[in-house]
C-alpha cells in the first residue's frame, strides 16, 4: 500500500522541523551567554536540509523511488555574524582587558525561524492525518 | 476472477493508484518546503492515467533485448516540475499554499474514486442478495 510511504515522507518532514525547533530553542537559550574570547563565544546555529534520495539503482529504478522524497538534515552551520564585545571588568568571565563576548544570536531571526518551523510541522501533521483517514476509508471499502 | 472485478470497477482502481502517486509527490513537496534548491514536482494525471489504462495514442518503441531502456516507461515515470509563482532566493520552488490546496483536492478526488468503487460493491451485493437482508 503506497499510502504508507506518505507516512515516511511526512514523518521525515516532522523530524526535520522538530530538529529545527530544537536548534531555535538552543539558540534562544544561549542568546545571553557570555564568553571570555570571541572564538569561544556562542554562535547561532542553522540547519541545512536536503531531500533524501532513496534507491538509485539502475536506470529507470522505479517511479516510486523518484516520487518518494523525504527530507533529512545534512549539516549544521554557524552564523558568521560578528560577535559583540562588552566592557564589563567586574564580570568573572572578562579577559585581561575587561571585555566579555556575547553570542551573535539574533532573537528576531530565531523567532521568525520558530514560526516558520512550527507552520511547516503543522503542514506535515495535516498531511499525515488526511492520509490516515483515507487509509481507514480504503480499508473499510465495501462495508 | 480478478479480471472480471477489474472490469467491474472500470478505471476507478487505476485512478486510485494515480491519485495515490500524486499524493506521494505532494507529500514530498510539503516535507521539503524548507529545503534549499528543492524543486517542487507533480504528477500529470491525464498522462499517467492514459499510461496506466493503456490508452496512450503514442506508438511505443520496441525494446526486444533486456538491456534496452524503454523511453516510454521512463518518460511516464518522470514527474513534471512545477512552475513557481514566486521564485525564492534559495532556489526552492515549493509554495506551501499551492501544495496544500493540491493535496486537499487530490484527496477529494481519491475519495470520489473510493466512493465510486464502494457504490459498485454495494450494487454487486444487492445483486447477490437479491435485495434481501444483507
Query: What are the φ and ψ backbone dihedral angles of A17, each rounded to 5 degrees?
Result: -70, -35
Tell me which chain B residue has its CA closest to the CA of residue A48: B35
Phi-psi region of A82 (alpha: psi -120 to 50; beta: other; left: phi over 0): beta
- Residue A35 is given by DSSP the state E
The reply to whether residue A130 touches residue B103, judged by beta carbons under 8 angstroms, is yes
How many alpha carbons lie under 13 Å from residue A17 in its C-beta half-sphere?
24
Predicted model pTM: 0.77
The reply to whether residue A63 touches residue B69, judged by beta carbons under 8 angstroms, is no
Give, for all 134 residues of chain B, the pLDDT tens digit: 556 766 788 888 888 888 888 898 999 999 999 888 888 888 888 777 777 666 666 666 677 888 777 766 665 566 788 888 888 898 899 998 999 999 999 999 999 999 999 999 898 889 898 877 65
pLDDT digits (tens, 9 = 90+) for A105-133: 999 999 999 999 999 999 999 999 999 99
The reply to whether residue A134 touches residue B36, judged by beta carbons under 8 angstroms, is no
Flag whether residue A70 sits within 8 Å of chain B, measured between CB atoms: yes
Closest CB to B33 among A120, A126, A141: A120
Flag whether residue B109 sits within 8 Å of chain A, measured between CB atoms: no
- Distance from C-alpha of A130 to C-alpha of A123, rounded to nearest angstrom: 11
- What's the gap in Å between the CA of A23 and the closest CA on chain B? 15
Flag whether residue A8 sits within 8 Å of chain B, measured between CB atoms: no
Interface contacts (A, B; CB < 8 Å): 111
Tell me which chain A residue has its CA closest to the CA of residue B70: A60
In chain B, where the domains are located: 2-56+75-128
Amino acid at each position: 500500500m503506497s499510502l504508507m510511504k506518505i507516512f515516511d515522507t511526512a514523518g521525515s518532514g516532522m523530524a526535520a522541523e522538530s530538529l529545527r525547533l530544537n536548534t531555535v530553542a538552543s539558540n534562544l537559550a544561549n542568546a545571553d551567554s557570555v564568553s571570555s574570547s570571541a572564538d569561544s563565544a556562542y554562535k547561532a546555529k542553522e540547519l541545512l536540509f536536503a531531500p533524501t534520495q532513496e534507491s538509485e539503482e539502475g536506470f529507470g529504478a522505479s517511479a516510486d523511488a523518484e516520487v518518494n522524497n523525504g527530507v533529512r538534515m545534512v549539516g549544521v552551520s554557524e552564523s558568521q555574524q560578528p560577535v559583540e564585545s562588552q566592557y564589563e571588568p567586574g564580570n568573572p568571565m572578562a579577559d585581561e582587558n575587561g571585555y566579555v563576548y556575547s553570542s551573535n544570536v539574533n532573537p528576531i531571526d530565531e523567532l521568525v525561524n520558530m514560526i516558520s518551523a512550527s507552520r511547516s510541522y503543522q503542514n506535515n501533521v495535516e498531511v499525515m492525518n488526511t492520509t490516515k483517514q483515507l487509509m481507514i476509508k480504503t480499508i473499510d471499502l465495501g462495508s | 476472477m480478478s479480471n472480471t472485478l477489474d472490469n467491474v470497477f472500470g478505471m476507478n482502481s487505476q485512478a486510485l493508484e494515480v491519485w495515490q502517486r500524486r499524493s506521494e509527490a505532494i507529500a514530498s513537496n510539503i516535507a521539503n518546503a524548507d529545503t534549499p534548491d528543492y524543486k517542487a514536482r507533480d504528477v500529470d494525471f491525464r498522462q499517467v492515467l492514459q499510461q496506466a489504462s493503456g490508452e496512450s495514442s503514442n506508438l511505443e518503441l520496441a525494446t526486444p533485448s533486456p538491456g534496452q531502456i524503454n523511453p516510454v516507461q521512463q518518460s511516464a515515470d518522470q514527474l513534471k516540475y512545477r512552475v513557481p509563482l514566486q521564485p525564492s532566493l534559495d532556489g526552492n520552488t515549493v509554495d506551501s499554499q499551492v501544495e496544500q490546496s493540491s493535496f486537499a483536492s487530490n484527496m477529494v478526488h481519491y475519495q470520489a474514486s473510493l466512493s465510486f468503487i464502494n457504490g459498485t460493491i454495494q450494487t454487486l451485493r444487492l445483486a447477490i442478495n437479491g435485495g434481501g437482508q444483507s
